[in-house]
Amino acid sequence: MESTAMRWLRTVVLAAFVAAIGLGMFVPVYSDEIGWRFQERAALDGVDKMFTELCGPNTLAAPPFFMMPVRWYSALFNTAFADPFWVRASGVLYALLLAAMLFAILRRVAANARERDVLVTLGIGMLCLGMTPLLLVWSRPEQPIALTVLSAVCLGLGGAVAGRETGRATAWLRCAAIVALVVVAASYHLKGLAGLPIFLAALFFCAKGREAHVPRIAAALLILGIAAVSASYWLDRLSCPGNAALRELYEAHSIGASISSVSGIGDLRALAETVFGNVGVLRYILLTNPDQYPLASWLPAEQVTKAESLRWYLSLVIVWSGVLLIGLVAFVAAAVRAWRARAIPAPLVFAVAALVSFVGWTASQNWSNIYETTFVIPLLLLAVLLSLATAPKAGRARSIFEVSAVGVGLLALVNVALLGTVWAPGMARAFGQAGYIEDQPLSVSIRGYRQIEPKILETGRMCGIPEPENARAVLVDELTYFAYMESRLPQHRLGAFSHWNGDLQDPVGYLKSRDSDGIVVGCHILPESLRDKALRNGRFCCLGPDQW
Q: Write out the H or E segment, with its range, that includes residue 329.
A: helix 306-341
> In what side-by-side order are the strands of the sheet with 535-537?
491-492, 475-476, 519-522, 540-543, 535-537
Q: What is the pLDDT of residue 548?
A: 82
Go through 36-52 and write b for each residue having 16 or more CB atoms within 10 A of its CB, e for each that does not.
bbbbbbbbbbeebbbbb
Greater model confidence, 4 or 135: 135
Residue with more model confidence, 142 or 56:
142
Contacting residues for 181 by C-beta, under 8 A, at least 6 apart: 148, 149, 151, 152, 155, 199
Q: How far apart are the first and last CA of the chain?
A: 72
Q: What mean pLDDT is predicted for residues 22-46?
A: 94
> Residue 540 and residue 461: Cα distance in Å, rounded?
12
Nearest CA to 428 among 138, 55, 28, 36?
Answer: 28
Q: CA-to-CA distance for 377 and 136, rounded, in angstroms?
A: 10
Supply the mean pLDDT for the chain.
Answer: 92
Tens digit of each residue's pLDDT (9 = 90 or more) over 437-467: 999 999 999 999 999 999 999 999 999 999 9
Strand 436-437 versus strand 491-492 pairing type:
unpaired
| pLDDT tens digits, one per residue of 474-494 | 999 999 999 999 999 999 999
Condensed to tens digits (0 to 9), the pLDDT of residues 206-226 reads: 998 888 999 999 999 999 999
Measured CA to CA, the distance from residue 77 to residue 448 in angstroms comes to 19
Q: What confidence category does residue 502 fall into, taking pLDDT thresholds of 50, 70 and 90?
A: confident
Distance CA 320, CA 377 (A): 11
pLDDT tens, residue by residue, 259-271: 555 556 665 666 6
DSSP 254-297: BHHHHHTT--SHHHHHHHHHHHHHH--SHHHHHHTS--SS-GGG
> Residue ranges per domain, the chain?
3-40+83-237+279-431
Rounded Cα distance between 463 and 36, Å, is: 28
Candidates 74, 90, 84; CA nearest to 21 is 90
- Does position 516 have pLDDT exceeding 60, yes or no? yes
**pLDDT at residue 293 greater than cutoff 60:** yes
pLDDT at residue 409, rounded to an integer? 97
Cα(108)–Cα(398) distance, rounded to whole angstroms? 19
pLDDT-derived band of residue 367, with 50, 70 and 90 as boundaries? confident
| Euclidean distance between CA atoms 73 and 90, whole angstroms | 13
**Has residue 276 got a pLDDT over 70?**
no
The DSSP call for residue 48 is B
Q: What is the pLDDT of residue 503?
A: 81
